[in-house]
Amino acid sequence: MPNSTSRWLWHGLAVAVLAVFGASLYIASKRIDYTWRWERIPQYLISTEGEEQKAPFDGFVAVSEDGKQLSMTALRSSETTSFTDFSRVLVGNGDLVFEGDVLAKKDQLGPGPLLIGLWLTLKISALSLVFALVLGLVVGLGRVSKNPAARDLAAFYVEVIRGTPLLVQIFIVYFFIGTVLQLSAFAAGVVALSVFTGAYVAEIVRAGIEAVPKGQVEAAQSLGLSGFQTMRHVILPQATRRVLPPLAGQSINLIKDSSLVSVMALTDLTKAGREVVSSTFSPFEVWFVVALMYLLLTGVLSIAVRRLEKRFAAQG
């Protein structure tokens, strides 16, 4: 075991390497002909545009003298409506407006496109992970089952899913299965990611179960436990400790793979990044921020899994 001084020296070496890497990136950024516009990014994280009040029909606008009330009369009928919950009026008294035109705005802070995309990525990744774990556990048990039909079906599923690209599977689920079953884009995305990740989880579960010493099974059988009881109380608890690290890695891959759902017109974090780039013409700044947000998600997941590993180790 290294002593305290040597440990700090090694930590210092790691910091020095990271500092050199950061300095290299900085020098490289100075050599390219690019103007950094970091001030454009915050508005796409926290929006200050507020809520818009739009015209419900074609008609004329009337604004009160104090500017605190806005009313509208329909162009071809006697229908009227009024607005009071706003901060700024964007039209003038007597103006002719058409359905969908913005009449006023209510100033308030809200999530910007990047945070909205992050939330969608988090939702679709979390749901897909839950279904993938359930599906992977069932298929993984099928892979080690004594029933030949269960083994064959499980092996067929795993080989087909692992042998085809995720993007192709997304297209098949969205344009074929989703059309037949009338699935929304979000539901189709969850199905595609769950089925894809479930195949890898199944192999992780199979490897974890087979890593449990056969003596544990024989000991359980000698105590009179049934096959189901042996799997539940003896094999799976031990296998869980072994599969946590690879499951964490597969979960991180799932979060990154979720960027492919943007092909289904879902505005996840990656698609939101593309839209922001087209608005700001600042690709480097936007993609650095998007990468940092993905890193935040995967980093939190890694920390949670490490704590879970320590808890299982303490119980063992």
Residue 265: CATH number of its domain:
1.10.3720.10
Same-domain status, 82 and 121: no
Q: For residue 6, how far is the Cα from the chain centroid?
A: 40
pLDDT value at residue 85: 75
Q: Are residues 103 and 236 in the same domain?
A: no
- Using CA atoms, how far apart are residues 286 and 273, in angstroms rounded to an integer? 6
CATH number at residue 63: 2.40.50
Note the pLDDT of residue 315: 65
Boundary (domain end) residue, out of 88, 108, 128: 108
* Boundary residue ending a domain (78, 108, 138): 108
The reply to whether 124 and 74 lie within a common domain is no
What pLDDT score was predicted for residue 136?
A: 93
Domains identified in the chain, total number? 2
Per-residue pLDDT of the chain (316 residues; tens, 9 = 90+): 456 778 888 889 999 999 999 898 888 877 877 788 888 888 888 877 777 778 888 888 888 877 778 888 887 777 888 887 777 787 888 888 888 888 888 777 778 899 999 999 999 999 999 999 999 999 999 998 888 999 999 999 999 999 999 999 999 999 998 888 888 999 999 999 999 999 999 999 998 888 888 877 777 777 777 777 777 777 777 888 888 888 888 999 999 999 998 888 888 899 999 999 988 888 888 999 999 999 999 999 888 888 887 887 766 5
Q: Which domain holds residue 65?
A: 53-108
pLDDT at 316: 58
Return the pLDDT at 2: 55
Q: What is the DSSP letter of 175?
A: I
Would you state the pLDDT for residue 55?
Answer: 85
Q: Answer whether residue 1 is part of any domain.
A: no
Place of tokens 């692992």: 162
Q: Same domain, yes or no, for 224 and 273?
A: yes
Q: Is the domain of 134 the same as that of 191? A: yes
Q: Cα–Cα distances in Å, from 273 out to 70, 116, 227?
A: 36, 11, 51
Answer yes or no: do 122 and 88 share one domain. Answer: no
- Structural domain contains residue 220: yes
Whether residues 309 and 294 fall in one domain: yes
DSSP 62: E
127 in helix, strand or coil? Answer: helix
Q: What is the pTM of this model?
A: 0.79
Rounded Cα distance, 281 and 141, in Å: 50
